[in-house]
Amino acid sequence: MEQNDRREILAIHDLSKTFGDTVALDNVHFNLYSGEVHCLVGENGAGKSTLIKILSGAERADKGRIVAFGIEYSRLTPHQSLEMGITTIYQDVELVNSLTVADNIFLGHEIKTNFGLINYAIQNRKARELMDSMNIDIPETALVEDLSPAQQQTLQIVKALHLNAKIMIMDEPTSSLGIEETNALMEIVRKLASQNIGVIYISHHLQEIFKIGDRITVLKDGQVVDTFDIRSTDLRTITKSMIGRDRSLFYDRNVVETGEVVLQVRNLSRRGLFENVSFDLQRGEILGFGGVVGAGRSALMNVIFGADRRDTGDIILNGRAINADSPREAIDRGVAMIPEDRKVLGLFDLRSVLENIAIVTNEANGLILNHRQENTAVEELIERLRIVTAGMRQAVGFLSGGNQQKAILARWLLSKARVFIFDEPTKGVDIGAKEQIYDLMLALAQEGKSILMVSSDMPELLSVSNRIVVMREGKLVTTVYAKDVTERDLLGYFLGIHDDGGVRDD
């Protein structure tokens, strides 16, 4: 996009915001042109969320000016933002699952008959017309709960378009999506830009930003480090700006010597999800699982952890069949799981960091609690894992994504787990926290623990894993050594372009 061909539709000048002693934004400058995809990047805590909350009217700046469509504001209310066409699509989908696609699009702005009843026929027709204009093939009468994550994220965009969006803020829109779904969503973003909608695009996936963006603004510690034209910068420059030091896109891990086989999975199947999966996991190994969304990776992990039951096959740990029928049984046998959706499946948001970490030991000890011992153990883990918190009594829901992930990991370090399942371990986590999580995983491997890691991030799979299991359409396609393949090779396996050259376990 040539900026001279577009008009400036948003400008932020000297915007500042503090929360107590914490400076969230410090004299921030930012602007957006019509038809531009302006990417906003930075580590967790850099100020991205505060900035978009101010633009959406959810927070009020302490000082500064916002000029939107030529009109100057000292603050925006939610109503003003929506009226002028500023819409925000958050990482966590905000839809009503029990309603249809069309009902969600028109929610709060229903089309009614002369008798005051909702005219579902017209709503369905207009919803279809709107989606057809964007080449979106989602049934307008389908229930939201039956849609895939990618379809739900796309529906949020359609809903924003119905509200006549002129500026669309997208916060981690692809965090739950695989390669194909991400590519489809990016095509929609390009379509939005072609219609002169300005897009503020926030993502931790830097490769994705280089595919979709026109400019990139880097935030660090509440300040703008710089704004770069996408055509005149590179990954190394952006990464260095974000974390304050030069850092390769790939994690540089130490070599850990692996040992005997500790976990054997043989011909494991779960009807409709995956079938006849077999592999071995060695002591001290990080075994990655790659594939597009829907390949069956997470479903496989759920069965190993006992959250779902197998139809056929065996799971053998240290020579003994475990075949857990519940997570409690898996935990008792030494298997731990850090789930993909930490908020829904891993955390008690309103309970303290202390309670969230200590819950496994509390379960194991029954009704007898040693609070002094518990407090000491949790304090040590908070320090060891460098969990940034106001204290162990702080509600875990107020921590950043990376610190929430570390709190779940701390929980399992108090257990006797020997096999750790990490399902998308760095989803929604900034670069600095990613490195810390990788270091913790490597430390577990050095202690002789073994790790199963599901990841949709190819640099993560290649740099953290010893070997990578590739799954497609519920089947194990191949197993490859991470050091012997490239991103292009992996993508070929994921999409079925080539299946040769792998090292099979079965």
Number of residues assigned to the chain? 506
Q: Which pLDDT value is given to residue 343?
A: 64
Query: Sorting pLDDT into bands at 50, 70 and 90, what band is 3?
Result: low
User: Is it the case that residue 151 has pLDDT exceeding 80?
Assistant: yes
**Amino acid at position 361, single letter:** T
DSSP letter string, 388-429? --S-TTSBGGGS-HHHHHHHHHHHHHTTT-SEEEEESTTTT-
Q: Are residues 25 and 133 in the same domain?
A: yes
Query: Sorting pLDDT into bands at 50, 70 and 90, what band is 370?
Result: low
**Amino acid at position 65, single letter:** R
Q: Is 21 exposed, middle or buried (0-12, 13-18, 19+ CB in 10 A)?
A: exposed
Q: Are residues 260 and 363 in the same domain?
A: no
Tokens of residue 1, six digits: 């996009």
Q: Are residues 82 and 224 in the same domain?
A: yes
Residue where one domain finishes, among candidates 228, 243, 258: 243
Mean predicted confidence (pLDDT) in 395-407:
78
- Report percent pLDDT > 90 for the chain: 40
Range from 84-93, 264-273, 324-333, 394-403 that averages highest in pLDDT? 264-273
Q: Which pLDDT value is given to residue 254?
A: 73
CA distance 480 to 488: 13
Mean predicted confidence (pLDDT) in 9-21:
90
Mean predicted confidence (pLDDT) in 223-237:
91
Q: Which pLDDT value is given to residue 264?
A: 96
Q: Which pLDDT value is given to residue 329?
A: 87
CA distance 267 to 328: 23
Q: Are residues 425 and 481 in the same domain?
A: yes
Q: Is 349 exposed, middle or buried (0-12, 13-18, 19+ CB in 10 A)?
A: middle
- Report percent pLDDT > 70 for the chain: 89
Q: Which pLDDT value is given to residue 227?
A: 96
DSSP letter string, 124-178? HHHHHHHHHHTT----TTSBGGGS-HHHHHHHHHHHHHHTT-SEEEEESTTTT--
CA distance 425 to 297: 14
Q: Are residues 151 and 177 in the same domain?
A: yes
Q: Are residues 159 and 88 in the same domain?
A: yes
Which carries the bigger pLDDT value, residue 52 or residue 3?
A: 52
CA distance 419 to 300: 15
Q: Are residues 15 and 102 in the same domain?
A: yes
Query: Sorting pLDDT into bands at 50, 70 and 90, what band is 460?
Result: confident
CB 101 within 8 A of CB 127: yes
CA distance 222 to 75: 18
Number of domains in the chain: 3
CB 172 within 8 A of CB 428: yes
CA distance 371 to 356: 14
Q: Which pLDDT value is given to residue 247?
A: 44
User: Is it the case that residue 373 has pLDDT exceeding 70?
Assistant: yes
Residue where one domain finishes, among candidates 415, 442, 477: 415
pLDDT in tens, 270-294: 998 999 999 999 999 999 999 876 7
Query: Sorting pLDDT into bands at 50, 70 and 90, what band is 206?
Result: confident
Q: Which pLDDT value is given to residue 476?
A: 96
Mean predicted confidence (pLDDT) in 356-373:
62
Q: Which pLDDT value is given to residue 231?
A: 93
Q: Which pLDDT value is given to residue 346?
A: 67
Mean predicted confidence (pLDDT) in 462-490:
91
Mean predicted confidence (pLDDT) in 123-149:
89
User: Is it the case that residue 504 has pLDDT exceeding 60?
Assistant: no
Q: Is 252 exposed, middle or buried (0-12, 13-18, 19+ CB in 10 A)?
A: exposed
Query: Sorting pLDDT into bands at 50, 70 and 90, what band is 2?
Result: low
* Structural domain for 469, as ranges: 250-334+418-506
Mean predicted confidence (pLDDT) in 372-401:
79
79: domain CATH number? 3.40.50.300
Q: Which pLDDT value is given to residue 54?
A: 94
Mean predicted confidence (pLDDT) in 73-77:
91
**Amino acid at position 67, single letter:** V
Which carries the bigger pLDDT value, residue 180 or residue 498?
A: 180
Q: Are residues 95 and 146 in the same domain?
A: yes
Query: Sorting pLDDT into bands at 50, 70 and 90, what band is 228?
Result: very high
Beta partners for 41? 218
User: Is it the case that residue 405 has pLDDT exceeding 60?
Assistant: yes
User: Is it the case that residue 457 has pLDDT exceeding 90?
Assistant: no
CA distance 289 to 297: 7
**pTM of the model as a whole:** 0.58
Residue where one domain finishes, among candidates 379, 394, 415: 415
Q: Are residues 325 and 370 in the same domain?
A: no
pLDDT in tens, 125-135: 999 998 888 78
Q: Is 3 exposed, middle or buried (0-12, 13-18, 19+ CB in 10 A)?
A: middle
Cα dihedral 407, 410, 411, 414 in deg (nearest 10): -160
Q: Are residues 74 and 158 in the same domain?
A: yes
Mean predicted confidence (pLDDT) in 209-235:
92
Chain mean pLDDT for the chain: 85
Query: Sorting pLDDT into bands at 50, 70 and 90, what band is 243?
Result: low
Cα dihedral 297, 298, 299, 302 in deg (nearest 10): 130
Q: Are residues 43 and 120 in the same domain?
A: yes
Q: Which pLDDT value is given to residue 125?
A: 94
Mean predicted confidence (pLDDT) in 451-473:
90
CB 329 within 8 A of CB 322: yes
User: Is it the case that residue 368 has pLDDT exceeding 70?
Assistant: no
Q: Are residues 371 and 497 in the same domain?
A: no
Residue that has been written with the tokens 């009217």 in this structure: 57
User: Is it the case that residue 138 has pLDDT exceeding 80?
Assistant: yes
User: Is it the case that residue 354 has pLDDT exceeding 90?
Assistant: no
